């Protein structure tokens, strides 16, 4: 079972470059989210989606764009990378309802120099 | 607002010691509560969960009880092993949506 798949696992960008972090899930989950993990700050929600065609901002959305054209995919775009975006990024998916768990990808470690 | 506060780390224990990691929450309504574990270089995995007051979640020797009166969900294990070394996150999810709120994580190192 693939679950939630993130690519790439590691990435180094120069300031001002753009890139897309990919996230795909094969569990037919309605909800998908992107988090960033920084030391001492836990996981902070960047953007989330409650279904195809619907996205919304989380706690720290600035500098990131998302789209949800299919149930399976939820890419995260950095339009102009900044050193402050150096972090570990996690994609998660879950079914409808608060009692269900969130399933996480393996993470993408991004360094912006 | 909705939030989770968990014990600061890092925590270092000897093998077979008793573990407690404190977690308290603030939430509107009745959240579901979770403990996730993150092993080095990996994503988060669900360790246990509880969905209503007085529920006890348990898995791999870990336990946590949903205490509405103290808004707490403390993680305990009677005898830790070296393989339990990881970062542990307390989290809540609200019934009105599907957003998760995470604590800052507690790093546990178990030494032989």
A27 touches chain B (CB under 8 A): no
Say if the Cβ atoms of B96 and A92 lie within 8 Å. Answer: no
Q: H helices within B35-75, ranges in order?
A: none
Q: How far is A90 from chain B (nearest CA, A)?
A: 7
The pLDDT of B32-42, averaged and rounded, is: 92
**Residue B59 is inside which H or E element, if any?**
strand B56-59
Query: Between B58 and B28, where is the model more confident?
Result: B58
Among A56, A49, A98, A93, residue whose Cα is nearest residue B44: A93
Per-residue model confidence as pLDDT tens digits over B59-84: 999 999 999 999 999 999 999 999 99
Q: Which of B32, B45, B105 sits opposite A98 (nearest CB)?
A: B32
pLDDT of residue A39: 84
pLDDT of residue B8: 82
Number of continuous H segments (helices) and E segments (strands) in chain B: 0, 12
pLDDT of residue A1: 64
């Amino acid at each position: 079972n693939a679950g939630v798949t993130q690519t790439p696992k590691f990435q180094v960008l120069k300031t001002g470059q753009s890139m897309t972090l990919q996230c795909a899930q094969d569990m037919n989950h309605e909800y998908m989210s992107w988090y960033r993990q920084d030391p001492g700050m836990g996981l902070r929600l960047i953007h989330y989606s409650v279904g195809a065609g619907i996205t919304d901002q989380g706690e720290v959305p600035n500098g990131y764009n998302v789209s949800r054209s299919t149930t399976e995919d939820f890419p995260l775009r950095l339009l102009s990378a900044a050193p402050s975006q150096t972090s570990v990024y996690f994609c998660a998916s879950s079914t409808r309802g608060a009692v269900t768990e969130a399933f996480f990808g393996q993470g993408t470690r991004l360094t912006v120099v | 607002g909705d939030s989770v506060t968990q014990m600061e780390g890092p925590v270092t224990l000897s093998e077979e010691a008793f573990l407690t990691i404190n977690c308290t929450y603030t939430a509107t309504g009745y959240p579901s509560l979770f403990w996730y574990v993150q092993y080095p270089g990996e994503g988060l995995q669900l360790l246990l969960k509880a969905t209503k007051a007085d529920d006890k979640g348990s898995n791999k020797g870990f336990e946590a009880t949903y205490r509405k009166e103290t808004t707490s969900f403390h993680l305990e294990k009677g005898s830790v092993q070296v393989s339990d070394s990881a970062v542990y996150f307390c989290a809540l999810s609200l019934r009105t949506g599907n957003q998760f709120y995470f604590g800052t994580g507690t790093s546990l190192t178990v030494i032989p």
